[in-house]
Amino acid sequence: MKQLKDFYKKTGKLHHAYCINASGEEVKKQVFDFVEKEIGFKTQGNPDFWFAEFDTLNVESGRMIKDNHFQKPTMGDLRISVIYANFITEQAQNAMLKMFEEPSGGTCFFLISPSAGNLLPTLKSRMIFVSPDLGSQKSSATADSQINPKDFLSSNLGERLKLIKDLLDDISDEKESRIQAINFLNSLESEFYKKTQISQATPKELFILEELEKCRSYASDPAPSLKILLEHLALII
Residue type, 106: G
Are 84 and 55 in contact by the 8 Å Cβ rule? The answer is no
Are 219 and 187 in contact by the 8 Å Cβ rule? The answer is no
Burial (Cβ within 10 Å: 0-12, 13-18, ≥19) of residue 13: exposed
> What DSSP string describes 171-228?
HHTTSS-THHHHHHHHHHHHHHHHT--GGG--HHHHHHHHHHHHHHHHHTSSSS-HHH
DSSP three-state, residue 89: coil
Structure confidence at residue 184 (pLDDT): 83
Q: What is the mean pLDDT of residues 64-93?
A: 85
Q: What is the mean pLDDT of residues 151-155?
A: 92
First to last CA, the chain: 39
Res. 192: pLDDT tops 80: yes
| Interacting residues of 66 by C-beta distance below 8 A, sequence separation 6+ | 95, 96, 98, 99
Give 145's pLDDT tier (boundaries 50, 70, 90): low
**φ, ψ (nearest 5 deg) of residue 22:** -160, 175
Measure the CA–CA gap between 112 and 130, rounded to whole angstroms: 10
Query: Which strands sit side by side in the sheet containing 128-129, from one edge to the other?
Result: 49-57, 79-88, 107-112, 17-20, 128-129
Res. 80: pLDDT tops 90: yes
Q: What is the mean pLDDT of residues 100-129?
A: 84
| Interacting residues of 220 by C-beta distance below 8 A, sequence separation 6+ | 87, 88, 89, 90, 115, 118, 182
Enclosing H/E stretch for 4: helix 2-11
pLDDT for 163-174, tens place per residue? 999 888 887 765
Measure the CA–CA gap between 182 and 24, rounded to whole angstroms: 15
Structure confidence at residue 30 (pLDDT): 93
Whether the model clears a pTM of 0.85, i.e. scores above it, the answer is: no
Q: What is the mean pLDDT of residues 110-121?
A: 84
| Interacting residues of 151 by C-beta distance below 8 A, sequence separation 6+ | 163
Structure confidence at residue 160 (pLDDT): 93
Q: What is the mean pLDDT of residues 213-221?
A: 73
